Amino acid sequence: MIFYYVNSTDNTINMWNSTRCINLAVRNLNGGPNTADNWNWRPPQNAIIDFGLGIQWSASLATNISGTPLIDYANGLNGLSLYGINSGVLLMAESILTSASFESGWQVEAGYSAADGSQLWITNRTETPYSLVVVGGESSYFFTMGSGVYVEITQSALSASGYSLTTGQQIWGPVTLPNANPFDSLALCAQVANGTIYIAGYGGDVYAYNILTGALKWHYHTPSGGFESPYGVEPLWVAFGDITVADGKLFAAEGHEYGPPLFHGAQQLALNITDGSLVWSIDSYDVTTAPAVSDGVMTTLNSYDNQIYAYGMGPTKTTVTAPSVGVTTASPVTITGTVTDISAGSQQESVAANFPNGLPCVSDASMSQFMEAVYMQQTMPTNITGVPVTLSVVDSNGNYRSIGVTTADPATGTFAFNWKPDITGNYTVIANFAGSQSYYSSTAKSYFYANAAAPTQAPTATPLTGLASNTTLIYGLVAIIIVIIIIGAAIMLMLNRRRP
For CA atoms 221, 222, 224, 227, the dihedral sign is negative
Rounded to an integer, the average pLDDT of 4-9 is 92
**Exposed, middle or buried: residue 116 (CB in 10 Å: 0-12, 13-18, 19+)?**
exposed
What is the C-alpha to C-alpha distance for residues 88 and 82, in angstroms, rounded to an integer? 14
154 pLDDT band, cuts 50/70/90, is confident
pLDDT score of 213: 97
Q: Give the pairing of strands 414-419 and 333-341.
A: antiparallel
pLDDT-wise least confident of 110-124, 288-302, 466-480: 466-480
**Exposed, middle or buried: residue 373 (CB in 10 Å: 0-12, 13-18, 19+)?**
middle
Summarised one tens digit per residue, pLDDT across range 32-42 is 554 444 566 66
For 362, other C-beta atoms within 10 Å of its C-beta total 27
Q: Give the pairing of strands 64-65 and 68-69.
A: antiparallel
Q: Give the pairing of strands 414-419 and 267-272.
A: unpaired
Summarised one tens digit per residue, pLDDT across range 137-151 is 443 334 589 999 999
Rounded to an integer, the average pLDDT of 456-479 is 57
Rounded to an integer, the average pLDDT of 232-252 is 89
CB-based contacts of 342-346 (< 8 A; 24+ apart in sequence) = 342/314, 342/315, 342/316, 342/317, 343/314, 343/315, 345/310, 345/314, 345/374, 345/375, 346/314
For 295, other C-beta atoms within 10 Å of its C-beta total 5
Rounded to an integer, the average pLDDT of 306-334 is 94
What is the C-alpha to C-alpha distance for residues 442 and 431, in angstroms, rounded to an integer? 9
Distances (CA, A) of 67 to 111, 119, 121, 495, 498: 19, 17, 16, 168, 172
Domains and CATH numbers, the chain: 177-312 (2.40.128.630), 316-450 (2.60.40.730)
pLDDT score of 138: 42
What is the C-alpha to C-alpha distance for residues 434 and 446, in angstroms, rounded to an integer? 18
Rounded to an integer, the average pLDDT of 312-336 is 95
For CA atoms 339, 342, 345, 348, the dihedral sign is positive
Residue 437 has pLDDT above 70, yes or no: yes
* Residue 128 vs residue 384, higher pLDDT: 384
Summarised one tens digit per residue, pLDDT across range 60-104 is 999 999 888 888 877 778 889 898 899 999 999 887 665 446 777
pLDDT score of 30: 61
pLDDT score of 256: 85
pLDDT score of 39: 61
Summarised one tens digit per residue, pLDDT across range 13-60 is 999 998 888 877 777 666 555 444 456 666 667 778 888 889 999 999
Residue 367 has pLDDT above 90, yes or no: yes
267 pLDDT band, cuts 50/70/90, is very high
Half-sphere exposure of 232 (CA within 13 A, CB side): 7
